[in-house]
Amino acid sequence: MSDLLYGEIEDDLRAGVRSLLDDTCGWADVLAGTETDAPHAAAPWDGLVAMGVTALPVPEDAGGAGASWRETSVVMEELGRAVAPVPFLGAAVLGTAALLAAGAADVLADGPAVLAVPLSTAPGDPVPDVRADGGALTGVVTSVADAAVARTLLVPADGALYAVDGSAARITHVTSLDMTRRLADVALDGAPARRIGGADAVTAALTTGAALLAAEQLGLAERCLELTIAHLKTRYQFGRPIGSYQALKHRVADLWAAVSQARAVVRYAAGCVASGDADTAVAAALAQAHCSGIAVRAAEECVQMHGGIGFTWEHPAHLYLKRAKSDAIALGTAGRHRAALAELADLPPV
Amino acid sequence: MSTAPPDAAEIERRVAAFLAAHDPAAVPPREFLRARYDAGLAWVHYPEGRGGLGAARAAQPAVDRAFARAGAPGNHPERNGIGLGMAAPTLLSHGTPEQLDRFLRPLWTGEEVWCQLFSEPGAGSDLAALGTRAVRDGDGWVVDGQKVWTSMAHEARWAILVARTDPAVPKHRGMTYFVCDMHAPGVDVRPLRQLTGEAEFNEVFLTGVRIPDTDRLGAVGDGWRVATATLMNERVAIGGQAAPREGGMLGVVTRLWRERPEVRTAAGHDALMRLWVEAEAARLTGERLRQRLAAGDPGPEGSAAKLAFARLNQELSGLELELLGEDGLRYDDWTMRRPTEVDFTRRSPGYRYLRAKGNSIEGGTSEILRTIVAERVLGLPGEIRTDKDVPWKDLPK
Ligand SMILES: Cc1cc2nc3c(=O)[nH]c(=O)nc-3n(C[C@H](O)[C@H](O)[C@H](O)COP(=O)(O)OP(=O)(O)OC[C@H]3O[C@@H](n4cnc5c(N)ncnc54)[C@H](O)[C@@H]3O)c2cc1C
């Protein structure tokens, strides 16, 4: 059994990332950012890049930190806590994981690389039909996360993985449910491309992404729970704090228990991905199947237990709700991951 | 002078040396178990001289596996769950050296089974309301009252007992904790039949039962604090066991699913996979909790383990019956019996389904556990209490 706790280095890393996000990524900024055209917030993203935490699992000789996905998972927890509008998932997780799996980490020297698949794609799912004719790609990939930041787009086509210069694609931004993680449609019309790996690199990247996204869901759920508890202690109705009513108390107790479980599941998945454990596919699917629902529940309870204020644009609860619901669909729904688990655990349907 | 506790390699060496000197096939089981206790290889995290080596708790599973591999006799924890899970840790933290000398070894070997005389007809969730009286009499106490839901009282040699020693103070302050001899005159154990048909639990009438003061655990009036320690251990004992993937009730249902394709339905599959995920999450949470304990940093997650355990057992055993369809309509046996062991996954699907209903009641109901998590872990305000500062004798009953 892998180590499910946090090490000292991870605690320090967490503190560093949290303080950066506290300084650059307050709720007011995040909220204001959702109403601009900027695809992401520059200050926190530049800060993360400068800290080196966007390249933790990349080997040192490829310009990375030579750490692992375990530490990256801690960064994702913090990004979830802050609903940070940064292109970390698309670039530092999915893109980087695809390049590492393809043995092409050198591509990162040019700048961020983003995996061009619809954000809803689960490991093993079919990908959009993009044709590779000689050295040129043609086709459309819809709902790609974080495409705007890509110096390189990593595009699955004809059963392989290709690298395309970001400027060679037509990128159309769409209005997303979660405006803190912008989606775009990517159109390729004979774009020059270089084959860098096989389809297995895509599956590996999506599996890593599933494990890491669960960490974001954990951080998000934990923050929602904290906000809710703080409110239950200070809001009085009928002459008592509303947190003294069992109807609310018991629900947050259950939620806390669920979040504690999510932490164990997330740590297990991060450990498996980091070490290339034989149980990685199970661990990642388990993480998504378990954490998606918990993050959504935490965000929904946060809205409900705040009453009218929780329903306003000014209160941050909706930022979490939108991120949580999008995350629940991203990289495969919980139902999709349960189906994967059924196969992995040899529990066939009917 | 203190020496460092032995590490895994040293413990392994001691187990090997013990097995070399005590052939499990030749030494009679009782003698073998006593010798294992005396060698400190019973529960290695207990102190030296108390069946342990003062080692890390995490070292125990390897020891148990080594003894099992060697074909050594076991101490049958399923027959003495209250003794091993609750009485022993409470004795260790609150007992005198004489009490530890007297009680721990036969408890661990299984020669003496224990039960728990806590609940009463008027005091369940509100255990501190209990009214069984213990009155000082020379160098001992005389106890009168009625206990109820006492599991395995019919098998027990000893009981942990909480009784009221001062009715004039508020309820939490007037209780004292005792060890009660279940063979003493005035102890009357009567079976209480459960919804499963059998009688694991009993009602116990205590009439003029004499308990020597040397069998008191903790100070007079300090019974609530000692009882709280017992209850914390109880919840860990019920919900916190280490298990492999697909262990326990989940394993029962996944086996059924694989071995009998005709029970499979789409809805059943959906339910099964949801529960598979939940069970695995609960298992990893238990594992993480044990890693924190081993690192000397016990997390509060333990208080939630029993909540998850109860829910999972109930859902899984309910699903098993539904998958079985027509077979699920039958029951194995309604005959009234007094079992000698507690094992939630034994007997038949119908039994498992019914027995699981007790999991959210015994050892603190799920409602009470949620309140405990909300107040002690999350710091939410307490319930409105009308009983806290009122002398016990003046409380409405
Ligand atoms: C199989 C089994 C074995 C047992 N073995 C033992 C044993 O060996 N020794 C022993 O001492 N006891 C034993 N018990 C007793 C057990 O601890 C009690 O049944 C339990 O604590 C509940 O008490 P009660 O039955 O009086 O129910 P009550 O306390 O009357 O509860 C009734 C209902 O009210 C709810 N409730 C009560 N107070 C509150 C509140 N403040 N807020 C919200 N809801 C509340 C409860 O959750 C429950 O749903 C056993 C019970 C079972 C089922």
A171-181, pLDDT tens digit by residue? 999 999 999 99
CB A14 within 8 A of CB A306: no
pLDDT of residue A181: 97
CA B392 to the chain's CA centroid: 28
B125 lines ligand 1 (CB under 6 A): yes
Mean pLDDT of B287-295: 82
Classify domain B8-109 by CATH number: 1.10.540.10
Domains and CATH numbers, chain A: 202-344 (1.20.140.10)
Per-residue pLDDT of A212-244, as tens digits, reads 999 999 999 999 999 999 999 999 999 999 999
| Alpha helix stretches (DSSP H) within A2-147 | 8-24, 27-33, 42-51, 69-81, 96-102
pLDDT of residue B113: 98
Q: Any catalytic annotation for residue B234?
A: yes
Q: Residues of A with CB below 8 A from B257's CB?
A: 347
Mean pLDDT of B127-137: 97
Identify the active-site residue in B112, B203, B234, B362.
B234
A251, pLDDT greater than 70: yes
CB A160 within 8 A of CB A199: yes
pLDDT of residue A19: 98
- Residue B189: pLDDT band with limits 50, 70, 90: very high
* Chain B residue nearest residue A227, CA to CA: B378
Stated pTM of the model? 0.92
Per-residue pLDDT of B18-53, as tens digits, reads 999 999 999 999 999 999 999 999 999 999 999 999
B242, pLDDT greater than 90: no
pLDDT of residue B1: 40
B368 lines ligand 1 (CB under 6 A): yes
B241, pLDDT greater than 80: no
pLDDT of residue B237: 64
pLDDT of residue B240: 61
Least trusted range by pLDDT, from A20-29, A330-339, B296-305: B296-305
Per-residue pLDDT of A78-92, as tens digits, reads 999 999 999 999 999
Mean residue pLDDT across chain B: 93
CB contact under 8 A, A256 and B377: yes
Residue A93, phi then psi, degrees to nearest 5: -105, -70
Does domain B240-364 match CATH 1.20.140.10? yes
Per domain, the residue ranges of chain B are: 8-109, 114-232, 240-364
Paired tokens of B162: 């909480």
* Chain A residue nearest residue B302, CA to CA: A257
Handedness of CA A42, A43, A48, A49 (dihedral sign): positive
CB contact under 8 A, B257 and A347: yes
B54, pLDDT greater than 60: yes
Mean pLDDT of A138-150: 97
Count Cβ atoms below 10 Å from residue B183 Cβ, excluding itself: 9
Classify domain B114-232 by CATH number: 2.40.110.10
What's the N-to-C CA distance of chain B in angstroms? 55
ipTM: 0.91
Residue A116, phi then psi, degrees to nearest 5: -95, 80
CB A153 within 8 A of CB A145: no
DSSP A253-312: HHHHHHHHHHHHHHHHHHHHHHHT-TTHHHHHHHHHHHHHHHHHHHHHHHHHHHGGGGGS
pLDDT of residue B145: 98
| A→B interface, C-beta within 8 Å | 1, 3-5, 229, 232-233, 240-241, 243-244, 246, 249-250, 252-254, 256-257, 260-265, 267-268, 286, 289-290, 335, 338-339, 341-342, 345-350
DSSP A152-183: EEEEEETTEEEEEEGGGSEEEE---SSTTS-E
DSSP A345: T
Mean residue pLDDT across chain A: 97
pLDDT of residue B4: 81
A53, pLDDT greater than 80: yes
Nearest CA to ligand 1 atom 30: B124
Amino acid at A105: A
